[in-house]
Structure 1
């Protein structure tokens, strides 16, 4: 293989901040990324994930802190001097250049000899499986093919770091799944180090070695997909990791990592993720997949069904409680809208969090 990415031990963000006037887009972000890791920056719009990526790339200057590649500080360098590969959300291909010319553009700008450019472009075409498409213009390619060209252009310069900013957001659902697998395959084959921005938790879970969840420019939690999925440390992280039901109640008791809260008269028990005081407000966070229609009993909440959708092997419904709490649930039986049902979750699948301070979720 002629493409051999530059090697290093780690990329380190040391208390990186980025301000836009009075707006603190990033606040003291610290993160160490090891060689060959696939890191996903995950969070809602405006959380700071793309700003973080652009600061690493050099497209935005930092207003505080530093970025290091091993012992070399890189945030003071121009983007072209950092040598990182970038894959943009909108592909950013040159419409008047064919596939081969687009992929080889960065090498040409670096003054490489034609024979070397041809050899490396051929290697990149093979890696992204675009042989036979090299003389087409971007407008003659599908969205997935254009994304492959963008990836090939980013890796052909042999960067120490590959940066991807929501690269699949413009593709349809089927193509997203296909390209997700391709991106991870390319990462593995190259032994690349990749930082990947996404707002899609499924993408992050399937692709990343570690996930970094951001909110309001602050890192909320860093962990493996399994850690983030099973044990989010904050209510807002749980919400973003698929715990769609957040049921507010009062703490009845809390001890030895377990808690029971009163939600509109129902006793809901679960795993306490924070220190909880009896009588204080708290939230039971439950995935819709873990909340099933059934009989009255422990951990059961009475609701009125609003909508029900057939999903093949099961039904997915929305409902509300008498007190106005919105709930999403699943059922193996059809349930009529307007019906009263009890929804139950296994207490091992319920996470209990203290009520956030000053309105932070």
Structure 2
């Protein structure tokens, strides 16, 4: 039975940095990953998440800080001496080798006896549900099957840590959902420790025990998925986590963690994220599904620009007289060009310092 190696209790990044000339791709990244955790490194393109993964794997040298497995420093070790499993975005399979040979390649390089290789490859094929496919070449498989082979190759060596660099980005939407569930199932079944790079918020929220949000090479927030979804610490994280509607105004009232903000003569309430005094400039942020058409007189007036049918509801964009665009949800279609009033759900709107 395949099992992830349990020869460590924690992976520790201690002020890890990586510079490319004068460009700091990573700056003072410190993080502790506990054995058995599924950690998602999340952020937009160019934020440093893949650079961080490659530094941990040993594919890139760090230019500052250190990496430890428990008390053993590993950032000066070669990739093969770290013994981690790696799953790449483009699968990186050998096209001329069968599925079985691809999966067993790492074991062969380690001098594992043939009988043991055959046994562990069989177990890995079963774990990724590719029984009966071992004789095929990668080119004879679908994209989802090729990614399963890549995962099997990474886990068959029973690594202490599995590193995945956007493994689902080349798959279509249906396959991404299927493989997302499979990756979490495999992680749970192995008792593995996984670091997973993605720019997809839904992937991170559904897969991870904790999410690490990166921006400009630095960690902006670390938290459980619900923390990141409901209470992002900063406005830029809120925008990335789906709070696409942002209204600027001034705080007119406060009551503990609640506040009211005036936006062009219209009042909106929400939960404070940070300390803002009455009269201070602020931004209230809301998800599209928390912005709805209202009949209230004090709602924000706007004109419908687009409307899309999404199955059970409609999603539209509307623009105010001074050019502010809002994304809203509605149970019925609103005609393009019609004037509507929009309100923000005070239970879920967040208020940040401007």
Shared fold, TM over 0.5: yes
Equivalent residue of 1:202, what SS? Answer: helix
Q: How far is the alpha carbon of 1:95 from its aligned partner?
A: 0.4
Residues in 1 aligned to 2:101 and 2:6: alpha-carbon distance in whole angstroms: 23
Equivalent residue of 1:59, what SS? Answer: coil
Equivalent residue of 1:349, what SS? Answer: coil
Aligned pair 1:349/2:348, yes or no? yes
The normalised TM-score by structure 2 is 0.98
Residues 89, 166 of structure 2: 8 Å contact kept? yes
Residues in 2 aligned to 1:263 and 1:7: alpha-carbon distance in whole angstroms: 56
**2:305 corresponding residue in structure 1:** 306
Residues 7, 35 of structure 1: 8 Å contact kept? no
**2:335 corresponding residue in structure 1:** 336
**1:318 corresponding residue in structure 2:** 317
**1:240-296 alpha-carbon deviations (Å, 9 max, x no partner):** 111111111122233412221121221111111011123332110100011111212
**1:159 corresponding residue in structure 2:** 159
Runs of 5+ consecutive residues of structure 1 not aligned to the other structure: 356-361
Residues in 2 aligned to 1:292 and 1:279: alpha-carbon distance in whole angstroms: 27
Equivalent residue of 2:33, what SS? Answer: strand
**1:165-219 alpha-carbon deviations (Å, 9 max, x no partner):** 0000000000000000000000000000000000000000000000001111111
Q: How far is the alpha carbon of 1:5 from its aligned partner?
A: 2.5
Aligned pair 1:18/2:18, yes or no? yes
Residues in 2 aligned to 1:325 and 1:188: alpha-carbon distance in whole angstroms: 45
Equivalent residue of 1:169, what SS? Answer: coil
The normalised TM-score by structure 1 is 0.96
Q: How far is the alpha carbon of 1:2 from its aligned partner?
A: 4.1
Residues in 2 aligned to 1:76 and 1:171: alpha-carbon distance in whole angstroms: 35
- Following superposition of structure 1 onto structure 2, how do residues 10-159 of structure 1 map, counting pairs within 5 Å? 10-159=10-159
**1:254 corresponding residue in structure 2:** 254
**2:227 corresponding residue in structure 1:** 227
Residues 264, 323 of structure 1: 8 Å contact kept? no
**1:174 corresponding residue in structure 2:** 174
**1:196 corresponding residue in structure 2:** 196
Residues 319, 327 of structure 1: 8 Å contact kept? yes
Residues 37, 192 of structure 1: 8 Å contact kept? yes
